[in-house]
Structure 1
């Protein structure tokens, strides 16, 4: 039996980092779905309502693993993937390794299996390389890209039942990956920065030194235009032309029909063509 619902839980604080938000959002979703109140959580965990509210809003100090774990236990959240997400966010919050290890060692995990479901493991095996290639297009280092992909799979483990209930698991998972990548990608005027990709193209690597600077300028213009495309069109162009996937593979990765990929490809090319034609100098004008 739950107690009478009190004041509505406030939003996540703006200052919460990307890694912290990655585990806090699914935890809040599980809390809302449970129909429990902050008072119920306080009663069942033994922690003050103010502390639990702070944790669920991301205010105050970064939460210790003990209180985080107590909420996971009450809400039935898998603890193994959450522990990895919690530790990554603690590092992002500049907590020392000894503090992180000390927190974890105070609690013996006892809820949930230590390995994800078999179908989740198969999903990871199918998508890890493809997800990593996408993330590497936007992020500064391979290490950061791999970390975001690992985070994505841990979040999916936490939300696997929800993913299976969705209209399409691939589409659900892609939204998780994309959110994690874009949260860490520098943006200019609201558009993701694609300049690093401009220096990692096949055409640039094959360009002779004498023509290198002209090719760099052309590549920068292209990637700037790409970054302004709608999300779906941008993803299709990145996966197909920067990562070399065929239409069927792109459709599978995004969890959309093949015709959706083909249509996005066509409209994106039209948009890019319009942008470059509008930037061409009038005939007879000195360049």
Structure 2
């Protein structure tokens, strides 16, 4: 599934008027992992006032640079992205992480990735220049984000999704700081990142994998576990049909076991909105299935 990572934010100043042809949109064929670094890079370019002709003198031929910023043609080598990042003042570490992930997803070998860095790896992998506010926010929300991601993803994917989220947030951190609520901005990135990696059925995310690690199932006796598992999977199927806002609240409340105040902090929305979303979601679930007993604290 291809997911856009553009985050809603405050109204910005109109982009500078540039001479020449307008940059075309990102191609529909661009993968979610490629889009994760391409969208912030495009946004930085569009806000910079620079032109393709200007950048082509130091980065890449104008036609090739246009293709790069639209995601068409061959996947770009890191040495080119590194030069572009320098011209647009983009932080290297998160950009390199996302570029490398997309390269592997595109089928590039580790040897190709290593060769394409052209001696820039030390600069790219040095986690320097991280804003203190970004580090502090990530420390605060990491556990909650990981718990949410584990409901949809398995194996190493939850950790990767959270780390990708933090990398995208770093790339967009100026926009995040200018948004109405940085926590809401960050959560929107997490949701888009997790959705891009999740499995789908009937255009809704599949939550059934989480059934094997819920408090309800793990605390049940051996003879009761099949029944509890069936109940949990029915609940997960129903929750997956909720609108995004209600789904997020119910995943955090019912499947992760967080309290309303914790959910409010993670989502960056008022406590009243959490309670309203939960109330509407419970009405839907009450009409759909017989709810299993509610859990207490967060899932260990």
1:95 aligns to 2:108 (yes or no): yes
Structure 1 residue 229: deviation in Å?
A: 0.5
Say which SS state the counterpart of residue 244 (structure 1) adopts: coil
1:166 aligns to 2:179 (yes or no): yes
State how far apart, in whole Å, the 2-side matches of 1:109 and 1:182 are.
31
State how far apart, in whole Å, the 2-side matches of 1:218 and 1:72 are.
50
Are the equivalent residues in 2 in contact too, given 1:194–1:227 (CA < 8 A)?
Answer: yes
Structure whose alpha-carbon radius of gyration is higher = 1
Q: Which moved further from structure 2: 177-186 or 50-59?
A: 50-59
Q: Which moved further from structure 2: 203-212 or 249-258?
A: 203-212
State how far apart, in whole Å, the 1-side matches of 2:171 and 2:114 are.
22
Structure 1 residue 3: deviation in Å?
A: 8.8
Q: What whole-Å deviation, never above 9, does each CA across 1:170-220 have from its counterpart, x for those lacking one?
A: 001001111100011112122111111122211112233333333332222
TM-score of the two chains, using structure 2 as the length reference: 0.85
Root-mean-square deviation (CA), in Å?
A: 2.0
Structure number having the greater helix percentage:
1
- Paired residues in the alignment total 273
State how far apart, in whole Å, the 2-side matches of 1:97 and 1:129 are.
30
Which residue of the other structure, out of 273, 277, 295, is the alignment partner of 1:260? 273
State how far apart, in whole Å, the 2-side matches of 1:223 and 1:4 are.
50
State how far apart, in whole Å, the 2-side matches of 1:205 and 1:123 are.
32
Structure 1 residue 4: deviation in Å?
A: 4.3
Q: Which runs of 5+ in 2 are unaligned?
A: 1-15, 291-300
Are the equivalent residues in 2 in contact too, given 1:3–1:36 (CA < 8 A)?
Answer: no
Are the equivalent residues in 2 in contact too, given 1:3–1:39 (CA < 8 A)?
Answer: no
Structure 1 residue 163: deviation in Å?
A: 0.8
Are the equivalent residues in 1 in contact too, given 2:91–2:129 (CA < 8 A)?
Answer: no
1:176 aligns to 2:189 (yes or no): yes
Q: What whole-Å deviation, never above 9, does each CA across 1:59-102 have from its counterpart, x for those lacking one?
A: 11110011111211111111122112111211112211122122
Are the equivalent residues in 2 in contact too, given 1:247–1:261 (CA < 8 A)?
Answer: yes
Q: Which runs of 5+ in 1 are unaligned?
A: 278-287
Sort the Cα spacing of 1:117 and 1:106 in 2 relative to 1 into closer, same or farther, 3 A.
same
Which residue of the other structure, out of 13, 16, 21, is the alignment partner of 2:35? 21
State how far apart, in whole Å, the 2-side matches of 1:41 and 1:253 are.
39
Are the equivalent residues in 1 in contact too, given 2:242–2:281 (CA < 8 A)?
Answer: yes
State how far apart, in whole Å, the 1-side matches of 2:98 and 2:47 are.
21
Say which SS state the counterpart of residue 63 (structure 1) adopts: coil
State how far apart, in whole Å, the 2-side matches of 1:62 and 1:13 are.
13
Q: What whole-Å deviation, never above 9, does each CA across 1:19-62 have from its counterpart, x for those lacking one?
A: 211111111111111233322321342x2122111211111111
Say which SS state the counterpart of residue 84 (structure 2) adopts: helix
TM-score of the two chains, using structure 1 as the length reference: 0.89
Within 5 A, what are the aligned runs for 1:1-287?
4-45=18-59, 47-107=60-120, 109=123, 114-141=128-155, 143-276=156-289
Are the equivalent residues in 1 in contact too, given 2:52–2:65 (CA < 8 A)?
Answer: yes
State how far apart, in whole Å, the 2-side matches of 1:3 and 1:250 are.
42
State how far apart, in whole Å, the 2-side matches of 1:192 and 1:123 are.
27
Say which SS state the counterpart of residue 83 (structure 1) adopts: helix
Are the equivalent residues in 2 in contact too, given 1:3–1:40 (CA < 8 A)?
Answer: no
State how far apart, in whole Å, the 2-side matches of 1:83 and 1:113 are.
10
Are the equivalent residues in 1 in contact too, given 2:246–2:281 (CA < 8 A)?
Answer: yes
